[in-house]
Structure 1
């Protein structure tokens, strides 16, 4: 599993390195060709100078791509993710994980222009949106204030009723058991209403904690499921000795993935419990 991640990271990073070097080379070519055209009065000499500059930049770009790719290969090969000299393809010509990483890098690069050209709000639209948000917040604050005031009034009313019921029960201590039972039921009902109103007066839950807990639980579960499908912790029962050794080696390499997935699930459970307990202050 760790080796697959290393191959994916190599393909993804190499794609971004190539794109960055080619973009830089293109900008330099445009700049140098423009300088060559202006610097020489003879058009032929300007064309020759521009062609030489472009050729040198192309050669330099290829050398830089090779150097950066070799450094990336060495850095990932020396990390804990990879093991061995032929870790990229394992003796094959191509690696599926590296090709998938390169395709993902190209897809990410293709999304950059759309992100840069995303529709932006004009100052008037921003002001209108800010005004609408402010009005919505004021409306919600007014509704919360009304609800809080109503809850406080009902709570005070329930407390008064409970006090009256307790006073009546104290005065009628020598009354019949049925009347005493009715008074105790009324007091219990008043207490339940008071508790319900106090619980209702509490603030809302923190939505950010709940969504973060859900995200971490899902991400941890996906990592654990993927790791178990690629490198199970225990070999199959009918596996031979060589196959069992191979499965144990895979499980050993995938241990960081298991630890990371279990950690994400644990943090998600903690945040879920915290989401149940920690609420916003009542406004």
Structure 2
């Protein structure tokens, strides 16, 4: 059994189409078909169900595919580890973040010490970031809730209050605090359903006795601020995020009932190798928040 056979099998399994797989692999279709047939002979069972030109992964193929993907994942992990040990790259980190307000200062401070590290920052819904951590597509993730899973680690970094922020013309301007139930008839602006902070605020509102009327949902925190400034609704904001943008949204109110706090933490998977750069950044993040 050769790695090339496994690669071909993986592509055919993903596309479930011999012609498309041959085009993607840039090989002749008869050659690909023969390779798959040899692999099936070596394994001892058919891996696909064939009906005319249709080809579908069968139960044997699905089990085999899981093992094949694990093989390639381990090889990629090994390649990254060896390159890192040998100093063949200058460090690359894929970072997820459910709250982005702290990133400019955090990344700026780290890059002043390690200027050759390359960052790719992502903001995705909770389920997507969890899957990326599990699959090794993301190294670390700054979240506002623990990431659950057998191989997941989550280090709490900071617990802080979060506020409700209102626009200039709002009836609550001038007040210092508000009970959450007073907001039951308000129009809210927030991140799209499925993001960590949105899930947290929705659940707290529901515990207070109402479902928030979120009329405007976006994918970027800065877009929420811009919509607030257009007086299109009210929003929730953690203390640190509010302080970073206080000049843009000065009217914030403390929530007295219930007590509203959010804990920010750092998540990673024990199953996947973290490069030296990612390990260094993980420790830097923990120390950075410890000094905030």
TM > 0.5 fold call? no
Greater strand share, 1 or 2? Answer: 2
Of structures 1 and 2, the larger Rg is shown by 1
Give the TM-score of the pair, scaled to structure 2: 0.19
Greater helix share, 1 or 2? Answer: 1
